[in-house]
Amino acid sequence: MAATNKKMSKTRSMKTLTLTMLALPAILVIFVFSYIPMAGIFIAFKNVNYEQGIFRSPWSGFENFNYFFSSSDAWMVVRNTLGYNTVFIVVGTLLSIIFALLLNEVISRKFLKTYQTLFFFPYFFSWIIVAYMAYSFIGPYGIVTGWLEDLGFTSFDFYTETWIWPILLTFINVWKGLGYTSIIFYAGILGISQDYFEAAAIDGASKFQTIIKITLPLLMPLITIMTLLSIGKIFYSDFGLFFFVPREVGQLYPVTQVIDTYVYRMLRQSGDIGMSSAVGLFQSMMGFVVVLLSNYMVKRVNEENKLF
């Protein structure tokens, strides 16, 4: 008896060992590229200078943070980041749910396939290509610029008009991501058991009632998780959208500069290591707090839908 127990526990630990070995390469990669940089957040509290190196540079306490928050840029980049993301989440989620519901109404497989294929196109292009596409519409020789000229707006330059960029960036962002997210929601709807819909049909529910009473509530866990994930990233932006699409026009910075592009420019153009890592740390910390908060809120409303 004791011998078999011993043998059992031996095979069990062998099993754990082999499985751990299978996971090991990924564990290592994640350790090196995600966890070691986390240890590097102390740089934010240093006054880095190149002669002494990072470790030997003097500590500076919260100086880097103070410097950032007392600058006028701080309010601008935080406002832009949060503002754009909020609009993206609201508009993007609403539209993708609507499109998923519309797709669900399409019965013909041929049409369905065609729509899905078309909708996925924008997802396939890198931001650099998208920037070129945008340029082909709103550049000096662009199609939309041409239309505006025909309407009498001569020499309208999209790349200097700040007011139009919040609309443009929202439009482009939604355009690029809508196919992808609506298909995720569509797949979610497909996952709902047909029994519910059949029962509703027998009870004589209208299409609209079915959507409100069955489809949406049953889709809610997926919607919550997708929204939570985007809220978790509310302090992060799609770098490519804000960096390439407005083509680095300095005049547009007040409406296109977000935390990510700010940190990048700070690091690569001004070489300010201390301050850019302070802003980066602020970003990570805030993002973390936001995820915990929204998860807590969801948990209070509905235990089922929580992320963790």
Partner 1 sequence: MTLRKKLPKMLIHLVLILFGIACIIPLISIISVSLSDETTILQEGYSFFPQGFNLSAYAYVLYKPAQLLNALKVSLLVSAIGTIISVLISAGISYVLSREDYKYKNSLSFYVFFTMLFNGGLVPTYILISNYLHLKNTIWVLILPYLAIPWFILILRTFMQKIPHTIIESCMIDGASELRIFIQMILPLAKPGLATVGLFTILQYWNDWWLSLMYIDKESLVPLQYMLYRMINNIEFLTRTASIMPGMNTVPAETARMAMAILAAGPMLLVFPFFQKYFVKGLTVGAVKG
Tell which positions 141-170 bind partner 1, by CB under 8 A: 141-143, 145-146, 149
Footprint of partner 1 on residues 165-224 (CB under 8 A)? 175, 178-179, 183-184, 186-188, 190-191, 207, 221-222
Q: How far apart are CA 211 and CA 88, in angstroms?
A: 24
Footprint of partner 1 on residues 260-289 (CB under 8 A)? 260, 263-264, 267, 273, 276-277, 280-281, 283-284, 287-288
Residues touching partner 1, count (CB under 8 A): 98
Q: Between the CA of residue 112 and those of 102, 103, 178, 190, 192, what are the distances in Å?
A: 10, 7, 16, 13, 18
Instruction: Tell me whether residue 75 or residue 288 sits nearer to partner 1 (CB atom).
Output: 288
Q: Residues 236, 259: contact at Cβ < 8 Å?
A: yes
Smallest gap from residue 216 Cβ to partner 1 (A): 16
DSSP code, position 48: -
Instruction: Tell me whether residue 97 or residue 178 sits nearer to partner 1 (CB atom).
Output: 178
Among 68, 88, 119, 158, binds partner 1 (CB under 8 A): 119
23 touches partner 1 (CB under 8 A): yes
> Which of these ranges, 27-35, 70-78, 152-160, 249-257, lies near partner 1 under the rule CB under 8 A?
27-35
Site string (81-110) toward partner 1, x via CB under 8 A: ------------------x--xx-xx----
Question: 213-241 burial by CB neighbour count: b if 16+ within 10 A, else e?
Answer: ebbeeebeebbbebbbebbbebbbbbebb
Q: How far apart are CA 140 and CA 151, in angstroms?
A: 15
Site string (33-62) toward partner 1, x via CB under 8 A: xxxxxxxxx-xx---------x--------
Task: State the sign of the Cα–Cα–Cα–Cα dihedral 91, 93, 94, 97.
Answer: positive
Site of tokens 């807590």 = 296
Smallest gap from residue 205 Cβ to partner 1 (A): 16
10 touches partner 1 (CB under 8 A): no
Report residue 234 CA to chain centroid gap: 7
In 3-state terms, what secondary structure has residue 191? coil
Instruction: Tell me whether residue 75 or residue 125 sits nearer to partner 1 (CB atom).
Output: 125
7 touches partner 1 (CB under 8 A): no
Query: Would you tell me the crossing angle of helices 165-190 and 216-232 to the nearest 10 degrees?
Result: 130
Instruction: Tell me whether residue 165 or residue 244 sits nearer to partner 1 (CB atom).
Output: 244
